[in-house]
């Protein structure tokens, strides 16, 4: 994987951001560094399957810490790995919080995003506890979350949630589905190969002819 920062400097850089925003006198540099082997493997696995020159170009995976979608993904993977592997949950909390500060992205470190996903400027997205599948595309202002009685969605493989869309509660989104701009799916089952859109206050479903996986990813 091609990166524009060394592993050591990436740990220093991320720790400096934490120290700036959380001036409690605690350094997390060594804790972060210890997780970077796993985290960058997860980044490489994810990015290498994205069909976009900014993620994979000239047969090489690209990670640019100054590309905000890259860095938002990195911070999610880091927070999640810290939570799974470190005895100090406070660092996972800080990294999760840092992602909210920097990108307006709320994806809690316990949330199990799939191995392969694509953030496309995910400002204002809130990604809660759901059953996620690979080849997920997420845009700005997306909400995925539970109902008041804590039932959560299941998201199939190859689903694209466009800006301002939401999937709430005990919903099941079939494989290869598009949830279009501003469309809210609540407590509903959406069949595979569906384009879901809103006309007035009515949610409509129709088939479409291409696949999310083929357009945005490489299996």
pLDDT digits (tens, 9 = 90+) for 25-73: 999 999 999 999 999 999 999 999 999 999 999 999 999 999 999 999 9
Is pLDDT above 90 for 23?
yes
Coil, strand or helix at 212: helix
**Average of per-residue pLDDT values in the chain:** 96
Helices (H), the chain: 7-21, 29-47, 68-85, 89-103, 212-216
- How open is the CA angle 91-96-98, to the nearest 5 degrees? 95
Is pLDDT above 90 for 134?
yes
Q: Using the structure block, give the residue that is written with the tokens 């949330």.
A: 111
Q: What is the pLDDT of residues 77-131, one digit of tens each?
A: 999 999 999 888 999 999 999 999 999 999 999 999 999 999 999 999 999 999 9
155 and 210 together in one domain: yes
Indicate the residue among 68, 103, 138 that finishes a domain. Answer: 103
Strand order in the sheet with 166-168: 126-127, 143-145, 166-168, 184-186
Indicate the residue among 103, 132, 164 that finishes a domain. Answer: 103
CA 38, CA 61: separation in Å to the nearest integer? 16
Does 111 fall in a domain?
Answer: no
Structural domain boundaries, residue 41: 2-103
88 and 18 together in one domain: yes
> pTM (2 decimals)?
0.96
pLDDT at 88: 83
Does 109 fall in a domain?
Answer: no
Number of structural domains found in the chain:
2
Does 17 fall in a domain?
Answer: yes
């Amino acid at each position: 994987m091609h990166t524009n920062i060394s592993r050591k400097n990436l740990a220093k850089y991320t720790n400096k951001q934490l120290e700036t925003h959380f001036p409690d006198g605690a350094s997390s540099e060594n804790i972060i560094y210890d997780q970077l082997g796993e985290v960058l493997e997860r980044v490489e696995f994810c990015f290498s399957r994205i069909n976009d020159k900014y993620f994979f170009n000239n047969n090489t995976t690209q990670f640019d810490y100054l590309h905000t979608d890259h860095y938002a993904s990195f911070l999610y993977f880091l927070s999640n790995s810290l939570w799974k592997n470190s005895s100090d949950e406070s660092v996972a909390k800080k990294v999760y919080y840092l992602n909210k500060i920097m990108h307006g992205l709320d994806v809690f470190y316990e949330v199990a995003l799939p191995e392969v996903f694509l953030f496309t400027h995910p400002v204002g997205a809130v990604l809660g506890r759901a059953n996620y599948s690979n080849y997920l595309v997420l845009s700005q202002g997306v909400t995925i979350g539970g109902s008041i009685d804590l039932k959560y969605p299941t998201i199939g493989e190859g689903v694209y949630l466009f800006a301002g869309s939401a999937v709430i509660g005990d919903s099941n989104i079939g494989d290869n589905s598009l949830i279009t701009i501003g469309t809210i799916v609540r407590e509903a089952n959406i069949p595979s190969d569906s384009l879901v859109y809103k006309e007035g206050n009515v949610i409509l479903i129709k088939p479409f002819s291409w696949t999310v996986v083929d357009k945005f990813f490489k299996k």
